[in-house]
Amino acid sequence: MSVIHTIGDYEQYVGKEVVRRIEAKARPLHDMHVLHMNSTYYGGGVSQILSSLTLLTNSLGIETGWRVIHGPPDFFSVTKKFHNALQGAEINLSGRKKEIYEDVIHENAVRNHIDHDMVFVHDPQPLPLITHYRKKCPWVWRCHLDLTAPNREVWDYLVPFIERYDAVILSCGEYLRDLRRPQVFFTPGIDPFSIVNRELSESAIDERLEHYGIPTDLPLVVQVSRFDRWKDPLGVIRAFEKARKEEECTLVLVGNVATDDPEGAEVYRSLLTHRNERIIVKSVQDGALVNALQRRAAVVLQKSLREGFGLTVSEAMWKGAAVIGGNVGGIRHQIEDGESGFLVSSVDEAAERIVRLLRDPDLAEQLGRAARERVRERFLFTRTVEQYLDLIAAFEP
Ligand code: UDP
């Protein structure tokens, strides 16, 4: 049964002062009508953030809606190519791709009547929506991608859409671009009450692992991610195989496929050939399994090659896990190397850290303790809520 949390519930994690501050910031915004738009209700970090954010801001008295744009498979195939290009991949930016993209967004605009006080549009998929409305309120584009080195051609094509917005939110300072619009930075945060993060008893963890037939006789090395090449699942398998020559362990790769990501199924299939008794690959839609794995793992990996933020990192850190993250994008902001986890730049480094953590459970525990504290201080979702409230207030006349 779904429990809708109110801000007071978060007091146990963030203290009375933060709760009061958020309530005070929300008060002048009561009865405002705010809209978030993105391209998937399920799968990936944006949908996780929006499902918590839209419920909590409603309970704070701000009428907040969430709409998801729709499109045929070729639309999502184009937008995934844009997503990849914005994270640095090559693309053949044909007129046909632009036409599919712009036409489907036009159709979505015809169907979506917007009469709000503020609109947030998430990521590149719905970006051109703004061109189809008579703009009566502030519109903000929230980009969740790793913009360290975007493909120039796609970026230049999208800039005229981006510059129609009143402001742009990025996940990290390094993603700052040359734009004629204000840019602000919010690192996202995790919701301690979501299915993925809420407390689980040892018996509930056992039950979930058993349900999926995950062996627990050896220490678990885990990566939880959408099936996406940027998450480097093959690099994880190679690091695991190297580590396993020195320390016995089991690898669990668990992922899902977001509805706006048509490459997921193919990436998943490509991993199946690597499966064996000690390499478990599962495509499931079960937040409780993610939760159980992050809690039970001896080592959690998030060996991404690009990562806008990487909620899975904070999720695992919050559970006191020893996390090895790729030294990229938003992961660098979460893990302080050697203090609250490890940052790695190669398969060999990942393998070496896995072995080190398996051999030294005290070190793993120490990193995990620091990790939980770091998330409590910086990456809980109440901060995200507060940043949104500040931004809405900044636009209030
Ligand atoms: N997730 C999940 N099940 C899975 C894989 C991922 O529930 O099998 C969740 C994960 O716990 C996290 C989100 O999906 O909350 C992924 O967000 P992240 O920022 O790590 O990556 P993104 O998918 O947005 O690139």
pLDDT of 30-40, one tens digit each?
989 999 999 99
Tell me the two tokens of residue 46: 């944006």
Q: Write out pLDDT tens, residues 186-195.
A: 999 999 999 9
Q: How far is the CA of 14 from the centre of ligand 1 (A)?
A: 23
Q: Which of 81-85, 96-100, 145-149, 257-261 has the lowest mean pLDDT?
A: 257-261
Q: How far is the CA of 322 from the centre of ligand 1 (A)?
A: 18
Examine the pLDDT at 24 and tell me if it is beyond 90: yes
Q: Hey, is 26 helix, strand or coil?
A: helix
Q: Is the CB of 255 under 6 A from ligand 1?
A: yes
Q: How far is the CA of 363 from the centre of ligand 1 (A)?
A: 26
Task: Evaluate whether 227 touches 255 at the Cβ level (below 8 Å).
Answer: yes
Pocket mutation for ligand 1, best pick of 291, 304, 311 (most atoms within 8 Å of C-beta): 311
Residues 80 and 240: their CA atoms lie apart, in Å, by 29
Number of CB atoms found within 10 A of residue 29's CB: 20
Q: Is the CB of 391 under 6 A from ligand 1?
A: no
The tally of CA atoms less than 13 A away on the side-chain side of residue 301 is 37
- Output Rg (C-alpha) for the chain, integer angstroms: 21
Q: Is the CB of 379 under 6 A from ligand 1?
A: no
Q: Helix 45-59 to helix 311-318 angle, to the nearest 10 degrees?
A: 70
Give the residue, by CA position, lying nearest to ligand 1 atom 24.
Answer: 45
Give the residue, by CA position, lying nearest to ligand 1 atom 14.
Answer: 44
Q: Is the CB of 44 under 6 A from ligand 1?
A: yes
Q: Write out pLDDT tens, residues 311-345.
A: 999 999 999 999 999 999 999 999 999 999 999 99
**Contacts for 276 with CB less than 8 Å, ≥ 6 apart:** none
Residues 357 and 334: their CA atoms lie apart, in Å, by 19
Q: Is the CB of 189 under 6 A from ligand 1?
A: no
Examine the pLDDT at 2 and tell me if it is beyond 70: no
Phi, psi of 308 (to 5 degrees): -55, -55
pTM above 0.90, yes or no: yes
Pocket mutation for ligand 1, best pick of 197, 224, 334 (most atoms within 8 Å of C-beta): 224
Q: Is the CB of 104 under 6 A from ligand 1?
A: no
- Model confidence band, residue 1 (pLDDT cutoffs 50, 70, 90): low
- Model confidence band, residue 42 (pLDDT cutoffs 50, 70, 90): confident
Residues 384 and 50: their CA atoms lie apart, in Å, by 11
Tell me the two tokens of residue 12: 């146990």
Mean pLDDT, the chain, integer: 96
Residues 188 and 343: their CA atoms lie apart, in Å, by 19
Pocket mutation for ligand 1, best pick of 123, 146, 225, 261 (most atoms within 8 Å of C-beta): 225
Q: How far is CA 99 from the centre of its chain?
A: 29
Q: How far is the CA of 110 from the centre of ligand 1 (A)?
A: 31
Residues 335 and 370: their CA atoms lie apart, in Å, by 10
Q: Is the CB of 264 under 6 A from ligand 1?
A: no
Q: How far is CA 243 from the centre of its chain?
A: 27
Examine the pLDDT at 202 and tell me if it is beyond 80: yes
**Contacts for 177 with CB less than 8 Å, ≥ 6 apart:** 147, 150, 155, 183
pLDDT of residue 289: 98
Pocket mutation for ligand 1, best pick of 197, 226, 260 (most atoms within 8 Å of C-beta): 226
Q: How far is the CA of 127 from the centre of ligand 1 (A)?
A: 22
Give the residue, by CA position, lying nearest to ligand 1 atom 10.
Answer: 312
Pocket mutation for ligand 1, best pick of 46, 48, 328 (most atoms within 8 Å of C-beta): 48
Q: Is the CB of 88 under 6 A from ligand 1?
A: no
Q: Write out pLDDT tens, residues 237-246.
A: 999 999 999 9
Q: Write out pLDDT tens, residues 205-238.
A: 999 999 999 999 999 999 999 999 999 999 999 9
- Cα 183 to Cα 76, 168, 220, 288, 395: the distances in Å are 27, 5, 41, 36, 14
Q: How far is the CA of 177 from the centre of ligand 1 (A)?
A: 26
Q: Is the CB of 212 under 6 A from ligand 1?
A: no
DSSP symbols for 213-273: T---SS-EEEEE--S-GGG-HHHHHHHHHHHHTTS--EEEEEE---TT-TTHHHHHHHHHT
